[in-house]
Structure 1
């Protein structure tokens, strides 16, 4: 039975009532939303589906469940999956607090993500992480091997190079972005807050370049033991191809799939979205099936 939020509590809808109207049935099958107090902050989340396979969607920089994962919340198989999207602290509807970027902000997000799922009653779950969310997923998987079933990441990196710094600086000034690219973020934050927070992110990610080898989480990759799929769009303007190759090389048994026409937000385009949805559930469980293929899954 589907779930909906009423008075802060999740209640089951009795969809077998003959008197239920179509509108009520549609409402009962919609996404449930709420806030959960985790590690001192109230984290906004959305949940849909009733499948035995729990999946947490982790958004990118300044992202939220709705701006980054609307198609996945709508289209992932709700009989097979229970899908949870969330807004990391300081992002989207998980405000206040305002977002800040201390040197451990990725570790903080990883702990928040795992503790959120535990507080919602999930003992084991998989991770789908995009961009910054992929970095968060890498850290969460490395530090919580008993909790993470599988992992899919794309548009992600484990270190910051000088090439990356050049790319980040090139997009610092959001006034130079296209209106189409700015609009979703400005709708969430307002133009001034978005611009200020984005500059904070650029400064936050740049600080990793001062670490040995520019490491964000390089030293953690060998600790990842769950079946892992790395996806990379070969037309990604933000993540050079050496990043997915490095992840693939250093995550034991991982698989890498290259998408020739894929860009940074490959999961939001229709054709590539279908592929992403298919691959999200196809990472193999058995150790002897976790090979290092670079072909399709």
Structure 2
């Protein structure tokens, strides 16, 4: 959970950006030459997921842009719903919105840090808009859907099964009913996606055919949500992707914050 010191370093943005029908909340920190877009995962927001990271980065080296995806953080309304049969895949929509945000801010070239599902959004940006993305860092991002996933998220649809620090923050930010409904919508999506894996296979093909950006995949080997096997198998198909394994790392990148920042900086700056 971000500390009071983390929060005191940053100034909340009083304005949102209108992109399509969405009012997107975003923040900028730093004035450095390395522009990095930061994207959170399930029920994440800038404050929880990235303030602790930003605090460890030199603002003279980086310009850090964070956004709350529609339905998360301060980008509400609308509510977040992953189960959208017959509609555009939500991560592809998120990717388009994020790219438009960066364009409207004046950035034509940037790197991306994405945690969990935020890494999936990052992949879609890098595949659909390859000329915009310089480098990509993903952390504990799923590359495949397996049968256990629906069971895992059914378990996580009860907030009492979350780590205490995340649970406390989520309850304050969203309230129990909304947060649990979001996780249940992801579980429903997984149940429908699992048999044919149409979105998953399309993303894998796009990664093979269109991913140009050098990519670092950070894996926590104690991640109980996303097993590392999917990333290891995908590495065989993506020669441009490096893997860094953290022996003690759990799903949340904050569980190994110092190492995550160290390897991310080394990758982005070299």
- Report matched runs for 1:129-278 at 5 Å: 129-177=114-162, 179-212=164-197, 215=200, 217-222=203-208, 223-265=210-252, 267-269=253-255, 272-278=256-262
Of Structure 1 and Structure 2, the greater helix share is in: 2
CA drift of 1:113 comes to 1.2
Aligned Cα root-mean-square deviation (Å): 2.1
Match of 1:77 among 50, 58, 62: 58
* Matching residue of 1:114: 99
CA drift of 1:177 comes to 3.8
- Report matched runs for 1:49-60 at 5 Å: 49-60=30-41
- In the aligned structure 1, how far is the partner of 2:54 from the partner of 2:189? 29
Query: If the length of structure 1 is used for normalisation, what is the TM-score?
Result: 0.80
CA drift of 1:214 comes to 7.2
- Conservation of the 8 A alpha-carbon contact between 2:157 and 2:181: no
2:32 counterpart SS class: coil
CA drift of 1:268 comes to 1.1
CA drift of 1:178 comes to 5.2
- Conservation of the 8 A alpha-carbon contact between 1:154 and 1:231: yes
Q: How many equivalent pairs are there? A: 256
- Conservation of the 8 A alpha-carbon contact between 1:30 and 1:48: yes
- In the aligned structure 1, how far is the partner of 2:135 from the partner of 2:110? 7
- Conservation of the 8 A alpha-carbon contact between 1:160 and 1:214: no
CA drift of 1:49 comes to 0.1
* Matching residue of 1:282: 266
Q: Which has the higher contact order (CA 8 A, sep 6+)?
A: 2
In our comparison, the structure showing a higher alpha carbon Rg is 1
Structure 1 residues not aligned, in runs of 5+: 1-26, 287-297
1:250 counterpart SS class: coil
- Conservation of the 8 A alpha-carbon contact between 1:56 and 1:85: yes
CA drift of 1:119 comes to 1.1
- In the aligned structure 2, how far is the partner of 1:43 from the partner of 1:30? 18
1:215 counterpart SS class: helix
Query: If the length of structure 2 is used for normalisation, what is the TM-score?
Result: 0.87
Q: Deviations over 1:208-263 (max 9, x none)?
A: 21324772621211111111101101111011121221332222321111111111
